[in-house]
Amino acid sequence: MTHALVVSNVSKKYNMVGSSIQVLSNVSFSISQGEFTGIMGSSGSGKSTLLDIIGTIDQSTGGYVLIGDQRLDQLSENQLSEFRRDKLGFIFQNYNLLDALTLRENIALALVIQNKPKQKVD
Ligand SMILES: Nc1ncnc2c1ncn2[C@@H]1O[C@H](COP(=O)(O)OP(=O)(O)O)[C@@H](O)[C@H]1O
Ligand SMILES: [Mg+2]
């Protein structure tokens, strides 16, 4: 089966002033097309960190992520923006909706950014 996602030896170390924390160490797994996967772990175990890296919000400090046949760390900022717009769905724990917009407008915004025809947005 084709792999939709490959996470290969991904590590993440957060560096702070005077200290650092190794959150992920050589995480590897792959997910096939059509597979539905959940990630479980205690609070602080690194689930959000891993999803941020897969979701292109953050970068790993080691290893790489492949979505389809594309290595995420080899995309430019513009390519990453296009990738997020066209290929990725991401629901945040705290939603991150825009307060100035209605719920409907928040949903429509993604279609407007993709230049979808007005009928489709409505
Ligand atoms: N931006 C950051 N800077 C420093 N440490 C962080 C940062 N984000 C998360 N951490 C630390 O990384 C660890 C994993 O956090 P997180 O990925 O949010 O875990 P989970 O989502 O599984 O609860 C925690 O110890 C957390 O304090
Ligand atoms: Mg979390």
- The single-letter DSSP state of residue 48 is H
CATH domain 3-74 topology: Rossmann fold (3.40.50)
Q: Write down the residue that tokens 């290969």 correspond to.
A: 8
Enumerate residues lining ligand 1, CB below 6 A.
14, 16, 21, 23, 41, 43-49
- Supply the residue whose CA is at minimum distance from atom 12 of ligand 1: 23
Output the tens digit of pLDDT for each of the chain's 122 residues: 689 999 999 999 999 999 999 999 999 999 999 999 999 999 999 999 999 999 999 999 999 999 988 999 999 999 999 999 888 888 888 888 999 999 999 989 988 988 888 888 88
Provide CB contacts within 8 A for 10, sequence distance 6+: 24, 26, 27, 28, 50, 53, 60, 62, 63, 64, 65
Q: What is the pLDDT of residue 86?
A: 87
Of all atoms in ligand 1, which is nearest to the CA of residue 21?
A: 5
